[in-house]
Amino acid sequence: MPQSPDSSWFEAAWAQREEQLYPALFGDLGPGIYPLDMTLFSEVFGQTAVDPRWLSHGVFESPPTATRSSWLYVTSGLSNAWEDAQPEADGESGMGQELLLETPEQAPWALRLLRKFCAYQLLLAAGRFGEQPPLDEWDRMRTGQPIDGGDSLLQALLFIPAPAFAGPHQLLSGRFEFLQIVGLTLDEHAWGQSAGYPALQQRLAQTGASPVMDPARASVC
């Protein structure tokens, strides 16, 4: 928790995000948050010790709404201003971001993926992987396997500014933005390396392949 004689603002900002901002943006947040746990850090990342505050982070699973046909998965906690002694409304709140992804149907693999990347961001920010910075806009990576654990052609990821939820979004503790994860085929990943990833995102969006991650889709390249 922040080192402050009065941290009520911290709790208020946390509640503001989960009880006001998220419902206004996403609608129903499902049965509750799916928190990170020690097994995730130890089995996936080989970490034997974690900051106990990390285990309060998690992912919400939001079903489709009247205006959104996708299932939406969004982290909560990365924008917590843990290190601030007092609110800085004009600055970044915590890491200044939350992660999200969308799928055409309810997808356990998507929940697992987003919990994993929430943990990964925390570890990157804490310097557990040397000087490698946290993931940011237009970063990309190969996953080494299909994103759904099955036979999907999507075997790479691209991180983009969330098209439908552009920020910044204001909390009592500061501002943050949504970083959205998009699935790529290896051919698309290679095309983006030569043409640029913003151009790739535009091509994906024009064909309906982004921002919703459909593991059954074909390559656009």
pLDDT, tens only, 170-212 = 999 999 999 999 999 999 999 999 999 999 999 999 999 999 9
- What number is the average pLDDT over the span 28-53? 97
For 96, the token pair is: 């200044």
CB atoms within 10 A of CB 144: 7
| Residue 7 pLDDT grade (very low, low, confident, very high; cuts 50, 70, 90) | confident
Answer yes or no: are the C-beta atoms of 59 and 76 closer than 8 Å: yes
Q: What is the mean pLDDT of the chain?
A: 95
| Residue 3 pLDDT grade (very low, low, confident, very high; cuts 50, 70, 90) | very low
Q: Does residue 2 register a pLDDT over 60?
A: no
Answer yes or no: are the C-beta atoms of 174 and 89 closer than 8 Å: yes
| Residue 51 pLDDT grade (very low, low, confident, very high; cuts 50, 70, 90) | very high
Answer yes or no: are the C-beta atoms of 3 and 84 closer than 8 Å: no
Model pLDDT, residue 1: 41
CB atoms within 10 A of CB 74: 25
Rounded to two decimals, the pTM is 0.95
For 131, the token pair is: 């000087």
| Residue 120 pLDDT grade (very low, low, confident, very high; cuts 50, 70, 90) | very high
Q: Judging by beta carbons within 10 Å of its beta carbon (0-12, 13-18, 19+), is residue 52 exposed, middle or buried? A: exposed
Model pLDDT, residue 6: 65
- What number is the average pLDDT over the span 96-110? 98
- Helices 197-206 and 186-195 cross at an angle (nearest 10°) of 130
pLDDT, tens only, 63-85 = 999 999 999 999 999 999 999 98
Task: For residue 98, give the 3-state DSSP assignment.
Answer: strand
Distances from the Cα of 138 to the Cα of 28, 30, 142, 160, 200, angstroms: 29, 29, 13, 5, 10
